[in-house]
Amino acid sequence: MFQEIKNKIIDYVFITSKQPVLLKDLLIANDLYTEKMRVDASKLGFRLDIGKAYKAFAAIALVVVLPVALVAHMLLAKIDSHASIIVSIFLTALIFIYFNIFRERLVDSMTIRRIRKAWKNHFPYFPYAEYHEKVAKLYEQAEKAEVPRKELEVYILDHLSKE
């Protein structure tokens, strides 16, 4: 159920290109993602619609914050107003912090989704989970050896088939 909701949110908040991901862009993205670095979304053909992301986050935050606010209201109504102001400032800061975390997790989820989809296109006989680190190492070796872009796919497939 959680995965279904996550997929619906991702489909809602991202604009995705119909163009396939190029092999070179896939290799760069896979290498960066394997190293836990930020991947350029435009190379993978997607863009976050920030307005829709705010709407999705607001809906999630409302579901979580509203029950807490109702319970807290009863407690804070009896306490000094200064305390309730401080608590509201703290909660507002937390909401903005969590939005940034939410946005980063959305981008990471979309990144891996696009990498896996492109992987099936370029390396259909090599499962992503098993070969993505090997391909990242081969790509780094190819870059050091200055393998031309046109021969990159042959270089990687040759080395994968030898293993």
CA distances from 150 to 2, 124, 143 (A): 42, 19, 13
Would the pLDDT of 75 be above 90?
no
Give the pLDDT confidence score for residue 130 in this predicted structure. 93
pLDDT of the residue at 132: 94
pLDDT exceeds 90 at position 53 = yes
> What percentage of the chain exceeds 70 in pLDDT?
100
Residue 71 is predicted with a pLDDT of 84
Tens digits of per-residue pLDDT, 119-145? 999 999 999 999 999 999 999 999 998
Q: Which of 82-98 are b and which e, b meaning 16 or more Cβ less than 10 Å from the residue's Cβ? A: eebeeeeeeeeeeeeee
pLDDT at 68: 84
pLDDT for 29 equals 96
Is pLDDT above 90 for 40?
yes
How many other C-beta atoms lie within 10 A of the C-beta of residue 143? 13
Q: How confident is the model at residue 23 (pLDDT cuts 50, 70, 90)?
A: very high
Out of 79-88, 128-137, 142-151, 153-162, pick the least confident: 79-88
Q: What single letter denotes the amino acid at residue 74? A: M
So what's the pLDDT on residue 46? 96
d(CA 24, CA 96): 36
DSSP 40: -
Q: How far is CA 154 from the centre of its chain?
A: 29
Q: Residues 29-50: what's their mean pLDDT?
A: 94
When pLDDT is averaged across residues 20-49 and rounded to a whole number, the result is 94
